[in-house]
Amino acid sequence: MSTPLPEDWNHWLGDEFQADYMQSLKHFLAQEKEAKKTIYPHSSQWFRAFELTPLNDVKVVILGQDPYHGPNQAHGLCFSVQAGVAVPPSLLNIYKELASDLGVEPVKHGHLEAWARQGVLLLNTSLTVEKGNAASHRGKGWEWFTDSAIKTVSQHAKPCVFLLWGSHARQKKTLIDTQRHLVLEAPHPSPLSAHRGFFGTRHFSQANRFLVEHGRAPIEWQLPATP
């Protein structure tokens, strides 16, 4: 938990690490470790989204909920999995929408680091999870921290695009200055809900159009064939 954030993020979020909720979260995670529970992702990757996407470079924010809770999947970026791991169903649907919207060729991996390095903040609202136990770390304090991160982007980043997919992500709209930023909402891309309005949204082309209109380079959504 003492892992320092990159300087630009730390300037606005550093004080959060002294807050009571963060001390409680730190205690909870220590107890989980003492109980020999496996936590994903590895602690070195809890803040990976912030490391790869400096605040001043944020162009698009995609919000997830929890890290993947299977072995070798989570590595600190929402919807993304490590190289060599099967592409999760929700990400497959994101690829389908990208192909329909921009003609982007789906790749056979789910490693999204290339997006993060371009300014796509791939942020889960909870940054850890117990192995095999979805949502096990919700309500333990991470949401306070990630809400502060969303507000930091809203207040201090250049005009950017927030992609809020699913009811959980859409609840965060109240944290965003919609006069400065573009907020695009849709059902979650999971197989259970993607056909209820995620497909056909053309969020990726809309995001790039907004960025160009505000003098920013668009995202190259085409991922490399190999991560």
Q: CB neighbours of 104 closer than 8 A, spacing ≥ 6?
A: 95, 98, 204, 221, 222
Distances (CA, A) of 153 to 1, 42, 78, 210, 220: 21, 25, 17, 16, 21
- 146 found inside a domain: yes
Cβ atoms of 187 and 194 within 8 Å: the answer is yes
For residue 140, the domain's CATH number is 3.40.470.10
Spatial CA neighbour of 179 closest among 202, 199, 154: 154
Beta-carbon count within 10 A of 155 CB: 12
- 140 found inside a domain: yes
Q: What is the pLDDT of residue 4?
A: 72
- 124 found inside a domain: yes
146 CB-contact burial (10 Å; exposed 0-12 / middle 13-18 / buried 19+):
buried
Q: What is the pLDDT of residue 20?
A: 97
Task: Catalogue the active-site residues.
Answer: 66
For the chain, the domain total comes to 1
- 219 found inside a domain: no
Q: Which segments of the chain have a pLDDT < 70?
A: 1-3
Structure tokens at 48: 């990976």
Domain range for 29 is: 7-214
- 137 found inside a domain: yes
- What rounded mean pLDDT belongs to the chain? 96
